[in-house]
Chain A
Amino acid sequence: DQQVKQNSPSLSVQEGRISILNCDYTNSMFDYFLWYKKYPAEGPTFLISISSIKDKNEDGRFTVFLNKSAKHLSLHIVPSQPGDSAVYFCAAKRGTYKYIFGTGTRLKVLA
């Protein structure tokens, strides 16, 4: 029972263009959502988060959008850079400590 899903296993984008990564969830009890980036041989690195009471949060080149009615969130990266090439995980929190991760999307930014 995968409560958090990332339906695109991979995505390729040209340098300078927008990258859009998507995430869907099924549990309406999730109250906090996060995006992590993971390079090979490293642990996930926190990128940006959003509370369920908001619909948008922005931090530099990264913006997260939350559509609660559709149970969907997305991460926009503008402009995309080659160093952004990594695996991106979305995660959702239920309660104080229970974080559920999506399956990940491998982003490749082409120079």
Chain B
Amino acid sequence: DTEVTQTPKHLVMGMTNKKSLKCEQHMGHRAMYWYKQKAKKPPELMFVYSYEKLSINESVPSRFSPECPNSSLLNLHLHALQPEDSALYLCASSQGRSNQPQHFGDGTRLSIL
């Protein structure tokens, strides 16, 4: 059982839709991450929140908007996505101190029509 929970598991949306991906952890971790993974490629870092503040934005297009309402929750708001944004979106968390492993959720499989 994963300790990082992502919802929904699958999402199909049109290019004009607005939707959100959700991630929750109850391990007391203070760093949370969004990754994007395309087929047969490694996960690519998108955003990092540390102590509920945005620490890293890897030049992600503004149609992706992250939000960290509290230390347990992480959202990714989606608007006007493109077909090439279809991918597996992974959330992870870590303790927030250096040299600690990340714990991943099972991801949301996103398809853009």
Contact = CB atoms under 8 A, between A and B. Distances in A.
B66 interface: no
Interface residues of B, number: 27
14 contacts: A34-B101, A43-B6, A43-B90, A46-B101, A49-B99, A51-B99, A96-B50, A96-B55, A97-B48, A97-B50, A98-B45, A99-B33, A102-B42, A104-B42
Is chain B's interface secondary structure helix, strand, loop, or mixed overall? Answer: strand
Contacts of A34: 101-102
Interface of B: 2, 4, 6, 31, 33, 40-45, 48, 50, 55-56, 90, 92, 94, 98-99, 101-107
A102 to B, nearest CB: 6
Which 3 A-B pairs give the minimum distances between C-beta atoms?
A43-B104, A101-B42, A46-B101
Interface residues of A, number: 24
Is chain A's interface secondary structure helix, strand, loop, or mixed overall? Answer: strand
